[in-house]
Amino acid sequence: MESPIKQAYIDYQEKLQALAQTIKAQVRENASLKAVQTALKITASMYYQRLKYPQNIPEQEIGALTKLVQNDTIAQLYKETIEFGQQLSESIAESLRNTDITVTFLCKKLGIDPSSYHRKQKDPRLWNQAEIERIAQVIETIERL
């Protein structure tokens, strides 16, 4: 069984991929790359970079894309993605509370600064898979003790 933290991370990543695929499909169907470049004032490589890393797309660009393709599916998926990111942060915090692990202890085990942990909790886009797996591993180990 996957830990709740790993599952929340997987769900978040899947939602990000769904957002990228939806943007790509909507642009292909209702606009063109040139129109996107003009509307967002970005280059083609910047557009493809955003598709590769959809967590880094600014909210104002989501709004501009939604207007460009005249479909609010992108905006809805973006909001859902943010909610899934918040669920990831909540899952981590809840697991720490349930196992009585302090943030300081976890940060020492991860080898990160507590301020970095708090920054990532506020903005879950910053978490990477290795950190999530290590957090889940530490929590699972403590639960078994």
Q: How many domains does the chain have?
A: 2
CATH number of the CATH domain containing 24: 1.10.260
pTM of structure: 0.90
Q: What angle do CA 121, 98, 85 make, to 5 degrees?
A: 25
63 CB-near residues (< 8 Å, 6+ apart): 75
Range of the domain at 102: 89-144
Cα 82 to Cα 104: distance, rounded to the nearest angstrom: 26
**pLDDT (0 to 100) of residue 2:** 79
Q: Are residues 63 and 26 in the same domain?
A: yes
Euclidean distance between CA atoms 16 and 20, whole angstroms: 6
* Domain final residue pick, 81, 111, 129: 81
For tokens 């506020």, name the residue.
Answer: 122
Does 22 share its domain with 62? Answer: yes
Using alpha carbons only, what angle is made at residue 21 by residues 57 and 25, rounded to the nearest 5 degrees? 105
Residue 77 pLDDT grade (very low, low, confident, very high; cuts 50, 70, 90): very high
Q: What is the pLDDT of residue 87?
A: 97
